[in-house]
Amino acid sequence: MVVLEANLPNSILLRAYENRTDLMRAVIIGPPKTPYYHALFFFDILFPSNYPTCPPKLFCQSQGLDLNHPSLQPDGKLFLSLLETGEHWDPNQANLLQVLVAIRRLALNFKPYFTESEKREYNRNAIIFTSEAIVRTLERPPRDFEDFVAGHFRQRAHAILMNYKEHMDESKGMTQLFIKLLRVLEGTGAYCKHHLNQEILEKVSMEERSTNYGIFSRVFTKAKNLADSLA
């Protein structure tokens, strides 16, 4: 714990539990120049009875989302060589601080070799998954982190929306997600309306009219079918 308190970077926060010394919860802020920038990644940490002979076990709270990342699985499994027993884990050298720093430096800074078009597609998908994770984190913040989550995203709302708009295309799905992201960020007290330009507003208006027309059409059809059956 002394090592953690003295060396833990600002991008990583930890919470310990008085009644469960074998458990901790960590939150790691996504590193800059990656699609995961500003996002929060929560990890539950279990220290086995034979720790530090064996490494701690970490579970990522992915909220069921596929983050499009080889190290973070939708079921919460984390793949990191340092956590493997054997030659990778040395109980005399390795510790929890190294694990958390490695997650941020290696796992959350994954840079696959792609062509330029493949890279754009990868980043686009990663932005979508990360934004969905931000929305879900704000809608259901992990226990004991509610105030931190709200404050974190309130301070970074402008940067998050700007980053999203850089990767935004003309698709209906990305527009809808942008609006959803904007609304949950505004829920933290951040001012975000200046990100709604005329083009986005027109798209939203068209989609809402289309949705309302679709609902009206289905109701009218059901009413007509019922009338025909009673005739």
**What is the per-residue pLDDT for 216?**
42
- Integer Cα distance of 57 and 46 in angstroms: 5
Query: Contact at 8 Å (CB) between 138 and 187?
Result: yes
Helix (H) or strand (E) holding 29: strand 20-29
- Integer Cα distance of 161 and 153 in angstroms: 11
**What is the per-residue pLDDT for 93?**
81
Residue 3 has pLDDT above 60, yes or no: no
What is the average pLDDT score of the chain? 79
Q: What percent of the chain has pLDDT over 70?
A: 73
Residue 11 has pLDDT above 70, yes or no: yes
Bigger pLDDT: 172 or 58? 58
Query: Contact at 8 Å (CB) between 3 and 121?
Result: no
**What is the per-residue pLDDT for 105?**
79
Q: Is 42 helix (H, G, I), strand (E, B) or coil?
A: strand
Amino acid at 223: A
**What is the per-residue pLDDT for 73?**
72
Mean pLDDT of the 168-180 span: 85
Lowest mean pLDDT among 3-12, 67-76, 95-104: 67-76
CB burial string 163-198: b at 16+ within 10 A, e below: bbeebbeeeeebbebbbebbebbeebebebeebeee
pLDDT tens-digit series, residues 175-214:
889 999 999 999 999 999 888 876 666 666 555 545 544 5
Q: Which two tokens stand for residue 24?
A: 């901790």
Amino acid at 120: R
- Integer Cα distance of 204 and 79 in angstroms: 40
Q: Is 106 helix (H, G, I), strand (E, B) or coil?
A: coil
**What is the per-residue pLDDT for 124?**
82
Residue 220 has pLDDT above 90, yes or no: no
pLDDT tens-digit series, residues 130-160:
899 899 999 999 988 999 999 999 999 999 9
Domains and CATH numbers, the chain: 2-196 (3.10.110.10)
Residue 56: partners with Cβ closer than 8 Å, 6 or more residues away:
45, 46, 47, 48, 83, 96, 99
Mean pLDDT of the 19-38 span: 88
Residue 206 DSSP code:
H
Q: Which two tokens stand for residue 88?
A: 């990778």
**What is the per-residue pLDDT for 224?**
46
